[in-house]
């Protein structure tokens, strides 16, 4: 079998990890119990690995917040001194079986949703939304104060126990059907989860009410779920990550298994070269700001791992499924469709689970191939939130993964398989 045939077969195998996945939400556990390789006195962050001194302010602040959250330092000054001493291990979340959305701050005590892929026999962990007030407070925005700390404790001790009991009773909640139906109802499952939230609620809430627990205890958990915007986002990320992990290590595969930014660099990984990052300067996002007072000078270059969903054929690849999202950036329905059609040129296959009415019931493309990116000159489109360089979301938009990432990956691939 020649190299081209080996690559084609490897890519079919890798893409099937995405299209045939079977993810279930099965538990909520501390990160130290479910994130592989997460050690004591280790802090994970979003994007490719980066030294503390080179981090943007949001990540540096997140490092300090993690130190205070875990009780590893008594104040900010001591936290910075300990970090600079090298006593704390710092690593990329995507070097583990997790996802660092936003700033992506994860330490051993952070509560995580556990997603089990029953087809691929993999597990991924993602941090839950922090509620309607603190949505991305600690993990997503790297913020920490007594209110956020108290909310994290409240989530762990009050909100999550009924959810864990429900999961233990029913054996888990299937994620894939919610993603698939949500995409037919206007979600692209990166920037928008409106339909997915409602479909999730329809499954989960009756099961919570069936628990033999005090009504007020159940209602606290119910209010947390229904009042938190984009509650389902973490589950889509977990399902995507579990599928990508299954493809890691497939020899000869040129499929992308990770895409992420840290506010300085943007990086990708590919299946045949697990553990290796291929980076280029992080791109700026184009979109619509939440206020006319914001301009590009207020915006941070791409930060976050949430474009793991694009690796699974959602988000920017699924633009046609959600013209509402694209309209927020001033795009028409036809331009939304054109974006998904363009992505077909750089993907290995189509996902038969994601049949999209706006594509005349065609299936969405899936599995970005670095060779096709280089051949066509088309870079993957990724959707997401625009971060203020001082913190907080200031809009939503789209960016293109830098071509430099694919050029470096192809050179490394060619060097390995001469």
Nearest to 253 by CA among 368, 340, 360, 353: 368
Q: How far is the C-alpha of 107 from the C-alpha of 125, rounded, in Å?
A: 12
CATH number reported for the structural domain that contains residue 133 in this entry: 3.90.1710.10
Cα 87–chain centre separation: 28
Cα 306–chain centre separation: 3
Task: Give this prediction's pTM.
Answer: 0.95
Tell me whether residue 295 is in a domain.
yes
Specify whether 77 is located in the same domain as 168.
yes
Range of the domain at 281: 250-416
Per-residue pLDDT of the chain (418 residues; tens, 9 = 90+): 788 999 999 999 999 999 999 999 999 999 999 999 999 999 999 999 999 999 999 999 999 999 999 999 999 999 999 999 999 999 999 999 999 999 999 999 999 999 999 999 999 999 999 988 666 688 888 888 888 989 999 999 999 999 999 999 999 999 999 999 999 999 999 999 999 999 999 999 999 999 999 999 999 999 999 999 999 999 999 999 999 999 999 999 999 999 999 999 999 999 999 999 999 999 999 888 888 888 888 899 999 999 999 999 999 999 999 999 988 888 899 999 999 999 999 999 999 999 999 999 999 999 999 999 999 999 999 999 888 887 778 888 899 999 999 999 999 999 999 8
Specify whether 290 is located in the same domain as 373.
yes
Specify whether 81 is located in the same domain as 175.
yes
Specify whether 221 is located in the same domain as 322.
no
CATH number reported for the structural domain that contains residue 405 in this entry: 3.90.1700.10
Among 235, 264, 283, identify where a domain stops: 235
Specify whether 46 is located in the same domain as 178.
yes
Strand bridging mode 286-289 / 393-400: antiparallel
Q: Which two tokens stand for residue 299?
A: 């915006």
């Amino acid at each position: 079998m020649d190299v081209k045939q080996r690559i084609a077969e490897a890519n079919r195998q890798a893409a099937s990890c995405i299209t045939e996945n079977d993810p279930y939400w099965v538990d909520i556990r501390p990160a130290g119990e479910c994130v592989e390789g997460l050690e004591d006195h280790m802090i994970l962050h979003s994007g490719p690995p980066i030294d503390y001194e080179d981090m943007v302010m949001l990540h540096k602040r997140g490092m300090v917040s993690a130190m205070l959250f875990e009780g590893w330092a008594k104040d900010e000054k001591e936290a910075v001194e300990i970090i600079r001493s090298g006593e704390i291990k710092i690593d990329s979340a995507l070097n583990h079986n997790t996802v660092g959305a936003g700033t992506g701050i994860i330490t051993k005590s952070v509560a995580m949703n556990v997603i089990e892929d029953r087809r691929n026999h993999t597990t991924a962990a993602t941090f839950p939304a922090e509620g309607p007030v603190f949505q991305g407070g600690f993990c997503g925005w790297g913020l920490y104060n007594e209110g956020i700390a108290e909310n994290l404790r409240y989530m762990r001790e009050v909100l999550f126990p009924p959810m864990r009991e429900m999961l233990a009773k029913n054996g888990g909640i299937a994620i894939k059907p919610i993603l698939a139906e949500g995409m037919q109802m206007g979600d692209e499952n990166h920037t928008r989860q409106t339909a997915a939230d409602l479909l999730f609620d329809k499954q989960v809430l009756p099961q919570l009410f069936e628990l033999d627990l005090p009504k007020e205890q159940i209602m606290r958990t119910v209010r947390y779920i229904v009042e938190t915007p984009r509650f389902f986002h973490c589950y889509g990320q977990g399902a995507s990550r579990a599928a990508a992990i299954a493809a890691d290590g497939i020899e000869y595969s040129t499929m992308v298994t990770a895409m992420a930014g840290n506010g300085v660099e943007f990086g990708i990984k590919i299946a045949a070269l697990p553990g290796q990052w291929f980076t280029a300067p992080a791109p700026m996002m184009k979109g619509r700001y939440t206020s006319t007072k914001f301009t590009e000078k207020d915006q941070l270059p791409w930060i976050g791992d949430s474009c793991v969903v694009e690796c699974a054929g959602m988000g920017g690849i699924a633009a046609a499924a959600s013209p509402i999202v694209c309209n927020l950036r001033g795009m028409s329905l036809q331009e939304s469709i054109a974006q998904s059609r363009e992505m077909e040129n750089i993907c290995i296959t189509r996902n038969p689970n994601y049949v999209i009415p706006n594509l005349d019931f065609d299936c969405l493309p899936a599995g970005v191939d670095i060779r096709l990116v280089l051949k066509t000159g088309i870079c993957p489109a990724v959707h997401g939130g625009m971060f203020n360089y001082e913190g907080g979301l200031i809009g939503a938009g789209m960016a293109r993964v830098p071509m430099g990432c694919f050029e470096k990956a192809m050179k490394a691939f060619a060097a390995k398989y001469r």
